[in-house]
Structure 1
Amino acid sequence: MPRDDKSAASARGASAIVGYEDFLSELKSRISSAQLRAVVAVNKELVLLYWQIGRDILNRQQQQGWGAKVINRLAADLQKAFPEMKGFSRTNLMYMRAFAETYPDEQIVQQVVGQIPWGHNVRILDTIKDQTERLWYIQQTIQYGWSRNVLVHQIESKLYHRQGKATTNFNRTLPQPQSELAQQLLKDPYSFDFLNLGKDFLERDLERALINHIRDFLIELGVGFAFVGSQYHLEVGGQKK
């Protein structure tokens, strides 16, 4: 039997299995959710790192009398130590300081603020002064999967004031995998810099770095799932896939 005929026959056989399509759909959903959780975890670690750096700068300025010029020196030294990371410019260090000053509670950063990309957080810092309003926009961004442009539009159109809603709780929710927010999380250059891949990283380097972060999440899926390895060959119908 020609190869195309074999493939077609295999496809017909799979479709004839009772419940197969539902099973496949469920697996796709679970895998997409696990991928998103992994990316959110990387993003949260990055945002938390930035918050900790900002907090430490604040503490030393207050307790040891460091002046504003120390940020220039720190930016130069960090960029020299981590040339592949773009997040240690003087401007970004100033944002880290403002970020820690705006959100003094680390729990809020871990549970809510850390679930949106750094670029979203910077826009909110730049445009909103009220803490309740900030947290409301963050939660709306997570719930509805807003991209940065949509977030900026909603702020400029004063959606918070028009709807008159306030933040009442901090439910741990994730953006939907198909949302624009999820896509921006997956492509966030700050996150890729944080993975320390370098400017000319190869596809296998990216794969390895992401696998290091998603392994634990795949294990959490429970009985029946296992992390076997990357580029693992499967034999289906006598052919290696």
Structure 2
Amino acid sequence: MELTKGLIQQIQAVVINAQSKAIRAVDTERVLMYWQIGKIIFEEEQQGKERADYGKYLIKSISDEFQPQLGTGFSVRQLEMNRQFYRAFPNTNALRSQFSWTHYRTLIRIENQDRRDFYMAEVEKNNWTARQLERQVNSQLFERLLLSNDVQSVLAVAREEKLPANAKEIIKDPMVLEFLGLRREAAYYEKDLETAIITHLQDFILELGNGFSFVARQKRIHIEGDEFFIDLVFYNRLLQCFVIIEIKTTKLTHQDIGQLQMYVNYFDRFEKQDFENPSIGILLCTDKNDAVVKISLPENNNTIIASKYQLYLPTEQQLIDEVKKEIEKLDNEEK
């Protein structure tokens, strides 16, 4: 006996609804946990306020105690955000059940109370996702409204964005997975095409040999309070340097190049040892019609000899060819 399409759809709807509720429930508990930790840190700091450096010492000590057991949810930066969270929202009645931690992470960076209240009201009225909130804050919606003669027109543009329909869009946040004790997988928060290309290139580069060792995939880094994820990080023992690879499924932009350079600078400042050479960045932008590779070398490329560079790194054409193979493979599967 075959199941009817209607029956399958009913069960799928129940599963999706349950998943969505479960994910939101987990995030609600996580928000409360961060608030309570922030409260404990803040109140303890107040008791030791005669020591100016006590706050830093306290957070560092808590991180050292809990991070080995419980992960990066107890990093120094995260604990600092917990404290900031409590200071911005000292009353739990002000917390909103429909706001995720990612919402609050954007809100606590807004120092002006009126501005923060405005964005909270807009999130509630329009059911903005955390990404939509961040976009509106970055585009200075509040300031544009103050300067605009046509307030409703500005708001209309902001409110035309669609709501997420899939619970998977929420679980893209790897901190949710960490909170649940689950293993983080790139597939949870990468587009299918991007994931396929990353997987393919990872295997291809390791097959090349040429001194490559795999370091990380979706390497999470913190820069000035923001989280970023680097697609692939390798180490080349022959060049004695890190090789960072970023993949975009859209056309190349100046922002993409700037982001890659930021990643290279981060590794040079925080990961590279004194005896190692400056890091190299490879940016690959692709769509169905074209593929472009940009390689970011150190500004003063004295330590990496050109001939070695050409010998040990894949060429731009090799990278493009491998990406095209993966795109063709996906196209054939779709057909």
State the structure with bigger RCO (CA 8 A, min sep 6), 1 or 2.
Answer: 1
Question: What residue in structure 2 maps to residue 101 of structure 1?
Answer: 87
Query: Any idea what the Cα deviations from partners look like across 1:71-122, whole Å, max 9, x if unmatched?
Result: 111111111332xx2111111111100101111121332xx1x533323321
Q: Compute the displacement of 1:184 (Å).
A: 3.4
Q: SS of 1:151's equivalent?
A: helix
Q: Is the 8 A contact 1:32 1:177 kept in 2?
A: no
Q: SS of 1:10's equivalent?
A: coil
Question: What residue in structure 2 maps to residue 126 of structure 1?
Answer: 109
Amino acid at match of 2:88: T
Task: Report the TM-score when normalising by structure 2.
Answer: 0.43
**5+ long unaligned stretches in structure 2:** 146-150, 153-161, 186-335
Matches of 1:195 and 1:104 in 2, distance apart? 26
State whether structure 2 residue 45 is matched by structure 1 residue 61: yes
Question: What residue in structure 1 maps to residue 61 of structure 2?
Answer: 73
Question: What residue in structure 2 maps to residue 196 of structure 1?
Answer: 181
Structure-2 change in CA distance of 1:35 and 1:127 (3 Å): same
Q: SS of 1:186's equivalent?
A: coil
**5+ long unaligned stretches in structure 1:** 1-8, 16-20, 165-174, 201-241
Q: SS of 1:97's equivalent?
A: helix
Query: Any idea what the Cα deviations from partners look like across 1:128-173, whole Å, max 9, x if unmatched?
Result: 52241242244256x14x352x322211333345358xxxxxxxxx
Q: Is the 8 A contact 2:174 2:184 kept in 1?
A: no
Question: What residue in structure 2 maps to residue 155 of structure 1?
Answer: 137
Amino acid at match of 2:106: R
Q: Is the 8 A contact 2:102 2:130 kept in 1?
A: no
Q: How does 1:22-33 map to 2 (within 5 A)?
A: 24-33=8-17
State whether structure 2 residue 172 is matched by structure 1 residue 184: no
Matches of 1:194 and 1:30 in 2, distance apart? 24
Higher share in strand: 2
Matches of 2:168 and 2:62 in 1, distance apart? 32
Q: How does 1:159-170 map to 2 (within 5 A)?
A: 159-160=141-142, 162=145, 163=151
Q: Is the 8 A contact 2:59 2:79 kept in 1?
A: yes
Q: Is the 8 A contact 1:51 1:96 kept in 2?
A: yes
Question: What residue in structure 1 maps to residue 320 of structure 2?
Answer: none
Task: Report the TM-score when normalising by structure 1.
Answer: 0.57
Question: What residue in structure 1 maps to residue 24 of structure 2?
Answer: 40
Aligned pairs, number: 164
Amino acid at match of 1:178: A
Q: Is the 8 A contact 1:50 1:96 kept in 2?
A: yes
Give percent identity, aligned residues only: 25
Moved more, 95-104 or 60-69: 60-69
Query: Residue 10 of structure 1: which of 2, 24, 29 is its match?
Result: 2
Higher share in helix: 1
Moved more, 186-195 or 44-53: 186-195
Q: Is the 8 A contact 2:119 2:133 kept in 1?
A: no
